[in-house]
Structure 1
Amino acid sequence: MDFELNETQKDIQKAAHEFAEKEFTKELALELDQREEFPFDLWQKACKLGFIGVHFPEEYGGQGLGVLENVLIVEEFCRKDSTLGVALTLSDFASELILRFGSEEQKQKYLTQVTGGKAVSAGAFTEPEHGSDITSMSTRAVKNRDFYVINGTKTLISNATIAKFFIVLCQTNPEAKPTYRGQTLLIVERETEGVEITKISGKMGIRASPTGEISLNNVKVPKENLVGEENRGFYHTLEFFDESRIEIAAQALGIAQGAFDCALKYAKEREQFGRKIIEFQIIQHKLADMITKIETARLLTYKAAWNFDQGRIDPYLTSMAKAYASRVAVEVTNETVQIFGGYGYIGENKVERFYRDAKITEIYEGTTEIQKNTITRTLLS
């Protein structure tokens, strides 16, 4: 058993760290957080350097590497700045569905745009009536010869306002029992007639990663936009979640490590009662607990990524990684703000954004409660 990263992985980690150190400025992060805007210029730089879609094959503009290498990039980006890191690493969201289940034509058309900085992607699963429960979809797709006609609404969709295309989970067979056996994934391009996007503003965190609602009114898409098999969309989506959960765990891990870095530095510099606050045992113990949790989350996240790269689908492991890493992110950022005191509560200080951005990792890509349900099902099977 080897816990050491190989030379390629170390180089990727170093390159991601150096890119973030150079390009992720405090001024840019604050501006985009306040204006709730996506960092397009920064995203295109990241694409040009090969950071987006690193786990895609070279023929689609990727580096031909694995999920673990992608995790290293996500961790380093979010460690430097959670607002910018999350926005960049979500820019290819759900395009893995095309990678894993799409046709060769779909891969050539869409994945090359994602890696080339020409298109942001989005996955449209959540509905107003169905939050965590995707076993039944109100969005309907009716096949009419060579086309599908889609009607419905998707909400809380990451990248909704900036994505060039969406992978939409639809109910194609409403009579199926159970209902999830009648779901299908379809690619819907943003400019298709009948697609309307509404921005959701005022989020607690990840404000540079836009969120919105998608209304689909008699949207007509060709049958060639079918991803995978008809009426197998639910199963394809579950496999995708097994991969995407790992990325969210990596986001949480990076946020936790970034907050800890700030807390450690501040504790070494801040003086109270005539000495550095790091000399107080209570601060020392806080830091010890924080870094222990972070290291544990890292081991679990890396193992989940490595396991996926071995070709094994293991919801038990990926759910543990996401549930634990996201809880650690919330706990560590909370303790970081506490160590900073009043200064940590001010928006000029990035630990305030770390704190706000951490919470979403317990919610999207399946809430912590859903992850625990998945873990428990495995225990009881």
Structure 2
Amino acid sequence: MGIIDTEALLNEEEKLLVRSIREFVKKEIEPIVDEYEAKKKFPIHLMPKMGELGIFGAMFPEEYGGTNYGVTAEMLIIEEIARAAGGIAATVLVQVLSLLPIFKYGSEKQKREYLIPGIKGEKVGAVAVTEPNCGSDVAGIETRAIFKGDKLVINGSKMFITNAPFANFFTVAVRTGPPEPKRHLGISYVIVDKDTPGLNIERTLDKLGWHTSETAELSFSDVEIPKENIIGKEGHGFYYIMDVFNHEHLFVGAQSVGMARACLEQAVEYSLTRKAWGKPIAEFQAVSHKIADMWTQLLAARTLLYYAGRLTDAGVDAVKEMAAAKYFAGEMVNKVCYDAIEIFGGLGYMMECPVQRYYRDARVQTIGGGTSEIQKNIISRRLLKRKGEG
């Protein structure tokens, strides 16, 4: 058993899943992390291997190539991968999020063309919602799509798009209706293939962390797509995107927990072997209490996270719990990684020390996928909703 018993309360199916993912990570990811961190590239050769193992299909039914294990199972997968590399976990979770609206709201044709090969890892997806002037305010997007016969013509730009440099398709938020009277009613969610004329990767973005995840800015200049590429109903995209974002809260929370586990495990091991004044630094109360705090925060975040996951799998409306899990885990991983560097001291500040990577990766966890402040807004709105409100 590790620093936390990650198999406690799991069913046999989930235990086998975690063990298989852990073995995959040990064999396929851990040996190459440093190499791809230095390259600032995602190891794209892993996609079909991940697909074969079912990493992208835990939430989807067997008829499309999934395993139908549920949301919690996907969270367990992401946690184990993030324990080795936060950036690779980011790529995985975005792949799943790009497939989710196609499964839930898309046509059978869309499922055949994107969902099935996406689950297999044969096609890579990216979620293109955020814009240079619009992040958390999804209803404020400026990218436009105008109907032209049986096609849509898209103009605009997207920013901070994970997987964009090597994605085969994008699920894109566009405005197809007027911004009045309610801004969110005019938004549609569409699929755009990477080779569509007018779609360009303007630049790849150099990030503080997540170096094994690739990110870019996109531009759309008179990009024409068939109307059949609209996911679900035209004008309903805002609701589909909110559904994607709610699941993202759980996945990013799982990513945070995985990274914090790795940092805490390394800090504990180091504290037991590093000596000062003739004894292991773990014997100094300043260090041992810090480790106790780190473990308690990690356990609390992980417990909240999987409570929200179980509620979601049970069909319960768990939007505020999802937000709470993302918020708490994001704040927790930043504190745990900070304290891990404190325990390592000067070595923790060196690039040769793995905890510095987790520290850099952790910084985005309170920003990406919805800031901590946005999560508090979601929680408080749900808690303070007056009787009779919709």
For the residues of structure 1 that align with 2:172 and 2:93, how far apart are their CA atoms? Answer: 20
- Cα distance, 1:198 vs structure 2: 2.5
1:116-161, Cα deviation, whole Å (9 max, x unpaired): 1211111111111112211122101111221111111011111111
Matched, 1:142 2:146: yes
Rounded to whole Å, the distance in 1 between the matches of 2:104 and 2:248 is 12
Q: Spell out the pairing of 1:1-381 with structure 2 (5 A cutoff).
A: 4-26=9-31, 28-381=32-385
Q: Kindly provide the CA deviation profile for residues 350-370 of structure 1, in whole angstroms up to 9, marking residues without a partner as x.
A: 111110011111111111111
Q: For this pair of structures, how many residues does the alignment match?
A: 378
C-alpha distance in structure 1 between counterparts of 2:239 and 2:88, whole Å: 32
Identical aligned residues as a percent: 38
Distance 1:194 1:78 in 2: 35
Alpha-carbon distance in 2 for matches of 1:165, 1:84: 19
**Stretch deviating more after TM superposition (246-255 or 109-118):** 109-118
- Any stretches of 5+ residues in structure 1 without a counterpart? none
Residue in 1 that maps onto 2:5: none
Q: Secondary structure at the match of 2:177?
A: coil
* Range moving further from structure 2, 303-312 or 204-213: 303-312
2: distance between equivalents of 1:301 and 1:321?
5
The one-letter code matched in structure 2 to 1:78 is A
Query: 1:237 and 1:90, CA in 2 relative to 1: closer, same or farther beyond 3 A?
Result: closer
TM-score by length of 2: 0.94
Q: Distance in 2 between matches of 1:348 and 1:90?
A: 29
Is the Cα contact below 8 Å between 2:165 and 2:204 reproduced in 1? no
Q: Distance in 2 between matches of 1:98 and 1:322?
A: 24
Tell whether the 8 Å contact from 1:239 to 1:313 is kept in structure 2 after alignment.
no
Q: What is the distance in 1 between the residues matched to 2:318 and 2:180?
A: 27
1:236–1:93 CA distance, 2 compared to 1 (3 A): closer
Counterparts of 2:49 and 2:355, CA distance in 1: 25
How many Å separate the matches in 1 of 2:56 and 2:160? 23
State the distance in 2 between where 1:214 and 1:71 align: 28
Q: CA deviation at 1:175?
A: 4.4
Distance 1:56 1:199, change over 3 A: farther
For 2:200, what is the secondary structure of its paired residue?
A: strand
- Tell me the distance in 1 between the aligned counterparts of 2:179 and 2:206: 39
How many angstroms apart in 1 are the aligned matches of 2:205 and 2:216?
Answer: 8
The one-letter code matched in structure 2 to 1:218 is: D
Q: Deviations over 1:271-301 (max 9, x none)?
A: 1111111111111101110111111111111
SS at match of 2:156: strand
CA offsets 1:205-253 (integer angstroms, 9 cap, x no match): 0011111111011111111101011111111111111111100000001
Partners of 2:97 and 2:243 in 1: CA distance = 14
Give the whole-Å Cα distance in 2 for the aligned partners of 1:373 and 1:11. Answer: 37
- The C-alpha deviation readout for 1:78-121, integer Å capped at 9, x for no partner, is 11333433334433332211111111111121011112121111
1:34 Cα deviation (Å)? 2.1
CA–CA separation in structure 1 for the residues paired with 2:241 and 2:87 = 26
Deviations 1:151-190 (A, max 9, x none): 1101111111111100111111124311111100010000
* One-letter amino acid of the counterpart of residue 125, structure 1: V
CA distance 1:287–1:175, change in 2 (3 Å): closer
Query: Distance between the aligned counterparts of 2:180 and 2:313, measured in 1?
Result: 33
Structure 2: stretches of 5+ with no match in the other structure: 1-7, 386-390
Q: Distance in 1 between matches of 2:95 and 2:360?
A: 20
TM-score, scaled to structure 1: 0.96
Q: Counterpart of 2:95 in 1: which secondary structure?
A: coil
Tell me whether 166-175 or 76-85 shows the greater mean CA deviation.
Answer: 76-85
| Contact residue 92 and residue 122 of structure 1 kept, 8 A | no
Partner SS, residue 219 of structure 1: strand
